[in-house]
Amino acid sequence: MREKGQVVLILILVMTVALGIGISVVQRSLSDVSTASKIEQSSRAFSAAEAGIEKAIQSGATVDEFNLDSNTASVDMQTVPTGTNALEYPPLAKEETATVWLADPDPNVQLPDCTAIDPTKHSPACYQQNSLNVYWGNSTTDRAALELTLVYYSSSQYQSQKWYLDQITRTPANNFDIVTTCAGSLGPGSKYQCSKTIDWSSLGTVTPMLIRARLLYNSTSQPVAVAPIGLGSLPAQGSIFTATGTSGQTQRKIQVFRLDKVVPSFFDYAIFSAGTITK
């Protein structure tokens, strides 16, 4: 009887171990299937969000929803900037350029007198102040410098004015203007490292067309923003599309910053002339 009892105990132990191994294998398989399903749904949700933004750009709708096979996408579009708000650029890499229009580039706006055929659609047509607040950087160790180029219309021709701004004195010297307002927590959302007010009133009566900002010396991408002075307003010139893609129980959100018109960056390094260039 004792031997039979031992056999039963051994069988129970073997069955328990086998059952434990079986349950572990089943759980692992279910976990793998669940993970694979979530990854697939996540990929489909991202694709749905991207497709939704493409459709929203084509349709021009400010808010819309799209059915994409078995997936859906909802898209919200906001025009920027509005009112007296700043225009904030996504982070820029070293020597990338941000273009900020001070005069609406729409063909329905007559330049340089800044009169709009339909004022209700272009308000303001031009920035009316003689100065701007500029914010850049977000690092206390990777200290970026900033090159600003103001393109303006005066005396029947387009001209430019440049500013070179830096946070620190560099070796060898670059002869940039050292900005003392670089204590951090500045600008919109208190997320910028440096700020500077640029003023072009010394140029006289001019029509400012655009400002191009380029980061220098930075090894990481950092943000740039331009804010109007006082009650001034920048022309609307871009859109922020926020799309939420849904696939099954998974949602993914992406955001796209899109400018209506951008001056090609190669103009920073090229000479253009309608006539003959004399060396």
pLDDT in tens, 134-163: 999 999 999 999 999 999 999 888 899 999
**What residues make up the domain containing 41?**
35-81+237-269
Considering the domain architecture, whether residues 103 and 241 belong to the same structural domain is answered as no
83: DSSP letter = T
Residues 65 and 122 reside in one and the same domain: no
pLDDT at residue 272, rounded to an integer: 59
Domain-located, residue 160: yes
How far apart (Å, rounded) are the C-alpha atoms in residues 188 and 177? 23
Q: Give the pLDDT band (50/70/90) at residue 68.
A: confident
Q: Is residue 196 part of a domain?
A: yes
9 in any annotated domain: no
Q: Bigger pLDDT: 83 or 30?
A: 83
pLDDT at 279: 64
pLDDT at 248: 85
Q: Is residue 95 part of a domain?
A: yes
State both tokens at 181: 């307002």
Sign for the pseudo-dihedral over CA of 125, 128, 130, 134: negative
User: What's the domain count of the chain?
Assistant: 2
- Say yes or no: 97 and 224 in one domain: yes
Residues 148 and 42 in one domain: no
Q: Could you tell me which of 172, 89, 101 has the C-alpha nearest to residue 137?
A: 89
Residue 165 forms part of a structural domain: yes
DSSP bridge pairs for 157: 154
